[in-house]
Amino acid sequence: MITPVQSLKECCYSFSPNPSDSHARYPRMQLGRPLDLSGLTTALCVEEAGAWHLYNPETHIPPAKAAVLDVYGQIIACDAPHKMPLDPRLLRLLVDAAAALHGEKTRAIGWQILGVKPNRGRALLSKDLTDLEWPIWHAALNFGLGHSRFEHPDEYFGRS
């Protein structure tokens, strides 16, 4: 139950309709986290390698910080519904970044983290992003840049 003295931020961090219910029924997310570009750095390494299964963190050299910041700037320039990108590269990088930030190693799991079925995600990336809806792009921004995350893997695996 939410008391009048709780702030909105506290509610977002700890809201559960019934505290006795399991995590699987009411996923708990961490919201409002600080920017984390480590996932984007990994996504750029995966892009350079060609695919997740070709990426080896021990042998691939991370891109220069300036390159990561350049891509981050391109992503942030698309921070409103009327500014969403048409190039699928930025969405692909954010999906891979979301997977990396959750300790995962496939784009399919990145889509599950965003609440999108992997087949739908593949279809979105196979052409320009004219069919991309704002909620998907917004989730990709938040999860790919580290501002949101799930507390436990069960919470995004049960969503597909």
pLDDT band for position 12 (cuts 50, 70, 90): very low
Q: Is residue 7 part of a domain?
A: no
User: Token digits for 103?
Assistant: 């300790």
Tell me the average pLDDT across 22-36.
62
C-alpha torsion 61→95→156→49, nearest 10: -30
Range of the domain at 51: 35-155
Q: Is residue 103 part of a domain?
A: yes
Q: Is residue 21 part of a domain?
A: no
How far is CA 19 from each of CA 2, 41, 125, rounded to the nearest angstrom? 12, 37, 38
pLDDT band for position 5 (cuts 50, 70, 90): very low
Give the chain's count of helices (H) and strands (E): 8, 2
Helix, strand, coil percentages for the chain (3-state, nearest 5): 55, 0, 45
What predicted TM-score, i.e. pTM, was given to this entire model?
0.78
Q: Is residue 17 part of a domain?
A: no
Q: Is residue 25 part of a domain?
A: no
How many structural domains comprise the chain?
A: 1
Tell me the average pLDDT across 70-79.
95
Tally the C-alpha atoms within 13 A of residue 136's C-alpha that lie toward its C-beta. Answer: 23
d(CA 104, CA 134): 24
Mean pLDDT of the chain, nearest integer: 81
Lowest mean pLDDT among 34-38, 131-135, 149-153: 149-153
pLDDT at 111: 95
Tell me the average pLDDT across 25-41.
75
pLDDT at 13: 36
